[in-house]
Structure 1
């Protein structure tokens, strides 16, 4: 039996996406929220958090193992500074303890075990996202398990590569900024490069990774676009969530008093769930626009 052809939305252009498929901004918001509930993306967000927990430690093991082979000093310190600025203190401290423990016990066999665990956890993570995004696009025929798993494995190591690249940029970024400022003495450029290097790298990582995920993961033919309304929503919402969640946890929530030593783990779970929810909502926004644009195109014939 021949495998059914995936739904083809590749002819939906850039302008159609940014015209929201003919929808008003209010209709887009309303349909996206409605679709998020109808497609049960909250459950997929919870699954995302579950598999992300299993993936996090192997990811740190492999990252630290790769960093140890690079001739660039300060990569781990730069990563810890970025974590400290973006995450609540308890969560940052828990990750710092994990990083320190991994650095002390890193061996070749431990790194190889981390690669295997990362491959398993990352594959399950992207399969979960695929299930959610296929629900968003209301796919009737999904990819085979072998194709989905192979793609999920490839995306896992693609994200690992992006993280390594981001860590390098966090270190060499200030040096590049200093060189640029020596040639272009413009006040707005000075403010942007001196204050926004770390956030620029983080936002660039999120934008590229989400754009690739929204293009490759669903079982539909989609055109490649570096920026879509969904991916832009993810970047903006993720930054707002980071700042707001850190402010809430450090000033209003008292997880340690309620959960004791489990407080940091509970914060991690909530943070990962919110990240998953943002990713799923970004996919829903794109799905609403694609469906609206497709219906508008079909009705014009």
Structure 2
């Protein structure tokens, strides 16, 4: 894709995105699935899961180290409640065990080692996503490795900051709700509001991080939109995947019987692969719309 075509993409506005570039919903779905296969995004999703495994535990290490410095009680407990609400038991238990182990062994040198590993893993993760998103937008000239690596490192710590902010909101949000409802003797309302806060924070985190990734990672200039059809697809599909995957693993799948002690790890790997596939499909949806809008604009002119 040459420079002039990049500029054309950057001029496609918010309304054109939500008009689906002139496509019908059925055409958008059909083209998105065709593009997902043509651009080999399934392979990129597998690489996403591979590097996400390396990034996840250093991320927990650094998160817990940062949380220890904050004057707010209940951050870890609130994070564990959110994990337990959305993930299968086996997967939750893996994360809980890691969190407990990190809390017992947290030292300055361990946190610094976590920062190094997080930097490397996060950089590889976002470079992998960049390769997939460049395929989506059919980019001919990718960013130079040094520039792409620097951007990937910046995005890694941006996501870390968002996670810290989300953890704080998970504590502050329900506490404010309890304060506001202190004069109402309706336990069900407290439970509903608390669960709603957790889901709102999780969806907000996914929406903001996905929108930033779709805007910044591709080697092509795109307009900034806080919400696009692709990012909305990611949030909705991710929530459905969380609930559906948890129901499937806990009631129908038998990973522990098949894989033994590796069952929990396999669940984690599958969950990360599905997350990567959803992110890649969301990008493909945006890519299809951008291409259709550009073709329509070229035909009119």
TM-score by structure 2 length?
0.94
SS in structure 2 at match of 1:73: coil
**Alignment check: 8 A CA contact 1:119 1:153 kept:** yes
Give the aligned partner of residue 186 of structure 2: none
Runs of 4+ in 1 over 2 A off after TM superposition: 3-6, 175-183, 189-195
Q: CA deviation at 1:10?
A: 1.3
Aligned length: 295
- The answer as to whether partners of 1:67 and 1:75 remain within 8 angstroms in 2 is yes
Distance 1:82 1:115 in 2: 24
Is 1:55 the counterpart of 2:52 in the alignment? Answer: no
CA deviations over 1:234-283 (Å, ceiling 9, x no partner):
00000000000000000000100110000000000000000000000000
Task: Tell me the equivalent position of 1:245.
Answer: 245
Partner of 1:221: 221
Q: CA deviation at 1:299?
A: 1.1
- Residue 77 of structure 2 aligns with which residue? 77
Gaps of 5+ in 2: 184-188
**What do you get for the CA RMSD once the two structures are aligned?**
1.8
Residue 97 of structure 1: how far off its partner (Å): 0.5
Residue matched to 2:289: 289
Stretches of structure 1 that go unaligned for 5 or more consecutive residues are 184-188
Cα contact 1:7–1:219 (8 A) shared by 2: no
Equivalence map 1:17-36=2 (5 Å): 17-36=17-36
Alignment CA distance shift 1:194-1:167 (3 Å): closer
Tell me if 1:258 matches 2:270: no
Secondary structure of the residue aligned to 1:72 is coil
Please tell me whether the aligned partners of residues 178 and 190 of structure 2 are also in contact (alpha carbons under 8 angstroms). Answer: no
d(CA) in 2 for partners of 1:210, 1:273: 16
Contact 2:54/2:121 (CA < 8 Å) preserved in 1?
A: yes
**Matching of residue 7 in structure 1 with residue 9 in structure 2:** no
CA distance in 2, matches of 1:87, 1:164: 19
Q: Deviations over 1:100-157 (max 9, x none)?
A: 1111111000000000000000000000000000000000111111110000000000
Residue number in structure 1 paired with 2:148: 148
Q: In structure 2, what is the Cα distance between the partners aligned to 1:88 and 1:282? A: 24
